[in-house]
Structure 1
Amino acid sequence: MLRRSHKKSRRGCLECKRRHIKCDETRPRCLNCTTVERSCSFPATAAATAGTSPASAPSRASTPSVSGPPEPSPPDNPVTPFLPTEDSTPDVDMVHMELMYHFMNGHDVIEPLAMAGFREMIMSQALQAPYLMHQILALAARHLSHERPHSEAFYHNIAIHLQTKALRLFRSLPADHFNVSVAHRVQGFLFPGMLGFHVLCDFLSHRGGDFSSMLARFVGCLHLHRGVYQIMEGQSWEELGQTELAPLLQAGERWFMSKGEGHECDDLRARIESAGLGAEELEGARKAIDLIQTSLDGRPTPVSKMHIVMGWGVMVSNAFVAMIAAARPEALVILAYYFVTLHHCRDVWVVGDAGEFFFAAAAEYLGPEWAPWLETPRRLLRPLANGALEDTKETLLDETWPASPSPSPPPPPQMTTKFLISRPGVAAAARIAEVQTTAMGSNKLLLSQFPSLESIAAFQKFLKDDAAAKLGGSDPGILVAQVADTDKIIGIIKWSSPSQPEGVKLENSGVQQVPGCRRELLDHYVVLAEAAKKRSFGDRPCFQVSFVCVDPAFWGDGAGSLLMREIMAKAAAEGLPVYLEATEEAVGMYRRLGFEEVDRFEMVMPSSPGAAEPYELYREWCMVWRPPPASGLE
Structure 2
Amino acid sequence: MPGVSVITTAAEKPYYAKRPHRKSRTGCRNCKARKVKCDEGRPACRTCTVRKEKCVYTVAATPKPASSPTTTASSSPSPGNEPGPDLALVATHVATVPQQPLFKPSGRDEIDMRLLWFYTTATYTSFSTSGVKERDVDVVLKVNVVQHAFANPFLMDCILALSAMHINWLGVRSMGISRSQEIYYRAKAFETYRKAVAAADPATYQALLVCSLLLCGLSTHLFRGDEAKPLAILDWMILWKGIGQIIEVIKLPALFRSGIAALVFRPDADLNASAQCLPAYLLFMLASIREGDPEYPLVQAYYCALLYLGSLYLELKNGISQLLLLRIVTFPTRLPNTFIDAARAKRPGALVILAHYLVFVKFRVGSCWWLDNISAHEIPSIYNFLGPEWERLLHVPMAALQLDNDRDVARLLLDDSSWDKPTSTVELAIRAAMEDIANDPEALKKKTMEYGLFDPHIAGSPV
What band does the TM-score fall into relative to the shorter chain? 0.5 to 0.7
**Which amino acid letter does the alignment assign opposite residue 156 of structure 2?**
M
Correspondence 1:218 to 2:165: no
TM-fit CA distance, 1:414: 7.8
Q: Which residue of 2 aligns with 1:295?
A: 312
Q: Does structure 2 retain, via aligned residues, the 8 Å contact 1:112–1:303?
A: no
Counterparts of 1:394-543 in structure 2, within 5 Å, are 394=421, 409-410=437-438, 413=441
Gaps of 5+ in 1: 1-16, 23-57, 68-89, 398-404, 416-480, 482-490, 495-544, 552-558, 568-634
Correspondence 1:205 to 2:224: yes
Tell me the alpha carbon deviations over residues 548-588 of structure 1, each in whole angstroms, 9 at most, x when there is no partner.
2337xxxxxxx87x223xx7xxxxxxxxxxxxxxxxxxxxx
Q: Does structure 1 retain, via aligned residues, the 8 Å contact 2:209–2:243?
A: no
- Quickly say closer, same or farther: Cα 1:185–1:289, change in 2 above 3 A: same
Q: Does structure 2 retain, via aligned residues, the 8 Å contact 1:186–1:240?
A: yes
**Which amino acid letter does the alignment assign opposite residue 284 of structure 2?**
A
SS in 2 for 1:548: coil
**Which amino acid letter does the alignment assign opposite residue 409 of structure 1?**
I
Counterparts of 1:610-629 in structure 2, within 5 Å, are none
Q: Which residue of 2 aligns with 1:168?
A: 191
Correspondence 1:142 to 2:165: yes
Tell me the alpha carbon deviations over residues 351-393 of structure 1, each in whole angstroms, 9 at most, x when there is no partner.
2343245324433443331122123445667666464432635
Q: Which residue of 2 aligns with 1:254?
A: 268
**Which amino acid letter does the alignment assign opposite residue 410 of structure 1?**
A
Task: Flag the structure with larger Rg.
Answer: 1
- Quickly say closer, same or farther: Cα 1:304–1:413, change in 2 above 3 A: closer
Q: Which residue of 2 aligns with 1:105?
A: 121
SS in 2 for 1:284: helix
Correspondence 1:372 to 2:392: yes
- Quickly say closer, same or farther: Cα 1:112–1:288, change in 2 above 3 A: farther
SS in 2 for 1:127: helix
Correspondence 1:563 to 2:461: yes
Q: Which residue of 2 aligns with 1:286?
A: 303
Identity %: 16
Alignment partner of 2:210 out of 171, 190, 206: 190
SS in 1 for 2:250: coil
Tell me the alpha carbon deviations over residues 8-67 of structure 1, each in whole angstroms, 9 at most, x when there is no partner.
xxxxxxxxx6xx468xxxxxxxxxxxxxxxxxxxxxxxxxxxxxxxxxxx9992544789
2:195 & 2:111 partners in 1: Cα distance? 25
1:103 & 1:61 partners in 2: Cα distance? 23
**Which amino acid letter does the alignment assign opposite residue 421 of structure 2?**
E
Q: Which residue of 2 aligns with 1:61?
A: 8
1:370 & 1:185 partners in 2: Cα distance? 43
RMSD of Structure 2 on Structure 1 (CA): 4.3
- Quickly say closer, same or farther: Cα 1:161–1:232, change in 2 above 3 A: farther
TM-fit CA distance, 1:302: 4.9
TM-fit CA distance, 1:198: 1.1
**Higher share in helix:** 2
TM-fit CA distance, 1:286: 2.1
**Which amino acid letter does the alignment assign opposite residue 369 of structure 1?**
E
- Quickly say closer, same or farther: Cα 1:395–1:162, change in 2 above 3 A: same
Tell me the alpha carbon deviations over residues 89-141 of structure 1, each in whole angstroms, 9 at most, x when there is no partner.
x7211111111111111167424456342322222222222211111111111
Q: Which residue of 1 aligns with 2:353?
A: 334
SS in 2 for 1:298: helix
Q: Which residue of 1 aligns with 2:42?
A: none
Q: Does structure 2 retain, via aligned residues, the 8 Å contact 1:138–1:159?
A: yes
Tell me the alpha carbon deviations over residues 252-297 of structure 1, each in whole angstroms, 9 at most, x when there is no partner.
1525988734524432122123224546522332232222222232
1:273 & 1:340 partners in 2: Cα distance? 23
Gaps of 5+ in 2: 16-105, 131-136, 425-432
- Quickly say closer, same or farther: Cα 1:125–1:280, change in 2 above 3 A: farther
Q: Does structure 2 retain, via aligned residues, the 8 Å contact 1:109–1:139?
A: no
- Quickly say closer, same or farther: Cα 1:141–1:243, change in 2 above 3 A: same
| Aligned length, in residue pairs | 342
**Higher share in strand:** 1
Correspondence 1:126 to 2:149: yes
Q: Does structure 2 retain, via aligned residues, the 8 Å contact 1:139–1:198?
A: yes
1:186 & 1:128 partners in 2: Cα distance? 11
Q: Does structure 2 retain, via aligned residues, the 8 Å contact 1:340–1:380?
A: yes
Q: Does structure 1 retain, via aligned residues, the 8 Å contact 2:154–2:196?
A: no
2:452 & 2:109 partners in 1: Cα distance? 44
1:59 & 1:145 partners in 2: Cα distance? 16
Q: TM-score, normalised by structure 2?
A: 0.60
**Which amino acid letter does the alignment assign opposite residue 137 of structure 1?**
L
Q: Does structure 1 retain, via aligned residues, the 8 Å contact 2:325–2:365?
A: no
2:256 & 2:197 partners in 1: Cα distance? 24
Q: Which residue of 2 aligns with 1:244?
A: 259
Q: Does structure 1 retain, via aligned residues, the 8 Å contact 2:355–2:397?
A: yes
2:260 & 2:6 partners in 1: Cα distance? 45
1:188 & 1:153 partners in 2: Cα distance? 29
1:549 & 1:214 partners in 2: Cα distance? 55
**Which amino acid letter does the alignment assign opposite residue 338 of structure 2?**
A
- Quickly say closer, same or farther: Cα 1:377–1:414, change in 2 above 3 A: closer
2:166 & 2:442 partners in 1: Cα distance? 56
Tell me the alpha carbon deviations over residues 205-257 of structure 1, each in whole angstroms, 9 at most, x when there is no partner.
23777xxx411x333333455457645543313542455234344x4152598
1:414 & 1:311 partners in 2: Cα distance? 42
**Which amino acid letter does the alignment assign opposite residue 247 of structure 1?**
A
Q: Which residue of 1 aligns with 2:250?
A: 235
SS in 1 for 2:214: helix
SS in 2 for 1:373: coil
Q: Does structure 2 retain, via aligned residues, the 8 Å contact 1:145–1:152?
A: no
TM-fit CA distance, 1:190: 1.3
Q: Which residue of 2 aligns with 1:614?
A: none
SS in 1 for 2:282: helix
2:440 & 2:246 partners in 1: Cα distance? 63
Q: Does structure 2 retain, via aligned residues, the 8 Å contact 1:185–1:240?
A: no
Q: Does structure 1 retain, via aligned residues, the 8 Å contact 2:320–2:365?
A: no
Q: Does structure 2 retain, via aligned residues, the 8 Å contact 1:284–1:319?
A: yes
Q: Which residue of 1 aligns with 2:46?
A: none
**Which amino acid letter does the alignment assign opposite residue 349 of structure 2?**
E
Q: Does structure 2 retain, via aligned residues, the 8 Å contact 1:141–1:159?
A: yes
1:306 & 1:316 partners in 2: Cα distance? 17
2:441 & 2:3 partners in 1: Cα distance? 71
1:111 & 1:190 partners in 2: Cα distance? 11
